[in-house]
């Protein structure tokens, strides 16, 4: 099947993009910044989630490639989508280190250069909370998934505790600037359901990280 050419570029989709210099710094500090959180359960969580990946797998916002080590050997193909050049460079290096075959593609989740119904598994870890247009990204995911396809996700969500939710609201702008557009209190599961996904998800806590990013949702969404 012929793949679709993307018309929009990732920068056109962002109203106020973080500076390129800051995004470069972020790509350097990302792994050390999340290291404790990875050790305190995130690595195990990635591994469990990605054990369910099958067929043609597309990961959106692959970042520095922290998921690469966790894909099962049996998957048919791995496509890593990442719009940020500095992240892509680190992703390519990690891919080499792991000697895993994958294609790295420069694209935003809102405009995937992939054919309709051509993907078995889409993976999104800490990305739907960062994209500028989550509904548009979810519609793209729905478009590229085969009818029996799945979206596997780990995403930040709004806290159920009123105190923590208020902290997330108050620190939203500062954290958004620091973390390159990341929205810590986005109602991602509700957005998935509004986009006609059937969602099975668990709320978990991301230990080893600042409290406002503790609340996570982990699960699987299908059409």
- Only segment of 95-103, 130-138, 186-194, 196-204 that touches ligand SAM (CB under 6 A): 130-138
- Could you say which of 56, 105, 120, 130 contacts ligand SAM (CB under 6 A)? 130
Q: How far is the CB of 64 from ligand SAM (least distance, A)?
A: 6
Residue 82 found at the interface with ligand SAM (CB under 6 A): yes
Residue 58 found at the interface with ligand SAM (CB under 6 A): no
- Only segment of 107-115, 169-177, 195-203, 213-221 that touches ligand SAM (CB under 6 A): 107-115
Instruction: Give the integer Cα–Cα distance in Å for 53 and 202.
Output: 18
Closer CB to ligand SAM, residue 175 or residue 197?
175
Instruction: Give the integer Cα–Cα distance in Å for 222 and 65.
Output: 24
Residue 66 found at the interface with ligand SAM (CB under 6 A): yes
Residue 24 region by backbone torsions, left for phi larger than 0, else alpha for psi between -120 and 50, else beta: alpha
- DSSP-derived 3-state class of residue 110: coil
> Strand pairing of 56-60 and 119-125?
parallel
Q: Are 113 and 107 in contact (CB under 8 A)?
A: yes
Q: Are 180 and 130 in contact (CB under 8 A)?
A: yes
- Could you say which of 70, 94, 102, 108 contacts ligand SAM (CB under 6 A)? 108
Residue 31 found at the interface with ligand SAM (CB under 6 A): no
**How is residue 94 written in tokens?**
């990690």
By C-alpha distance, which of 184, 166, 174, 180 is closest to 129?
184
Closer CB to ligand SAM, residue 72 or residue 85?
85
Beta strands in the chain (DSSP E): 56-60, 77-81, 103-105, 119-125, 145-156, 198-205, 215-222
Q: How far is the CB of 2 from ligand SAM (least distance, A)?
A: 22
Residue 130 CA, distance from chain mean position: 8
Give the nearest residue (CB) to ligand SAM. 63
- Could you say which of 63, 134, 149, 215 contacts ligand SAM (CB under 6 A)? 63
Q: How far is the CB of 190 from ligand SAM (least distance, A)?
A: 19
Residues that bind ligand SAM (CB under 6 A): 10, 60-63, 66-67, 82-84, 87, 108-110, 125-127, 130-132, 182
């Amino acid at each position: 099947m012929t793949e679709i050419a993307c018309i929009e570029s990732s920068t056109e989709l962002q109203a106020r993009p973080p500076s390129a210099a800051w995004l470069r710094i972020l790509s350097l500090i990302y792994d050390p910044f999340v290291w404790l959180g990875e050790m305190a359960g995130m690595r195990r969580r990635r591994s469990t989630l990605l054990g369910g990946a099958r067929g043609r797998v597309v990961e959106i916002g692959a970042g520095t490639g922290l998921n690469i080590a966790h894909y099962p050997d049996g998957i048919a193909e791995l496509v890593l989508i990442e719009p940020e050049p500095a992240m892509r460079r680190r992703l390519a290096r990690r891919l080499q280190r792991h000697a895993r075959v994958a294609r790295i593609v420069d694209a935003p989740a809102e405009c995937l250069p992939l054919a309709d119904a051509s993907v078995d598994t889409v993976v999104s870890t800490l990305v739907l909370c960062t994209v500028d247009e989550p509904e548009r990204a979810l519609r793209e995911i729905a478009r590229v998934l085969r009818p029996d396809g799945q979206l596997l996700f780990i995403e930040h969500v709004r806290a159920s505790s009123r105190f923590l939710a208020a902290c997330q609201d108050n620190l939203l702008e500062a954290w958004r600037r620091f973390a390159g557009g990341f929205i810590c209190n986005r109602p991602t599961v509700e957005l998935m359901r509004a986009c006609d996904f059937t969602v099975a998800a668990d709320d978990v806590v991301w230990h080893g990280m600042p409290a406002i990013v503790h609340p996570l949702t982990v699960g699987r969404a299908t059409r």
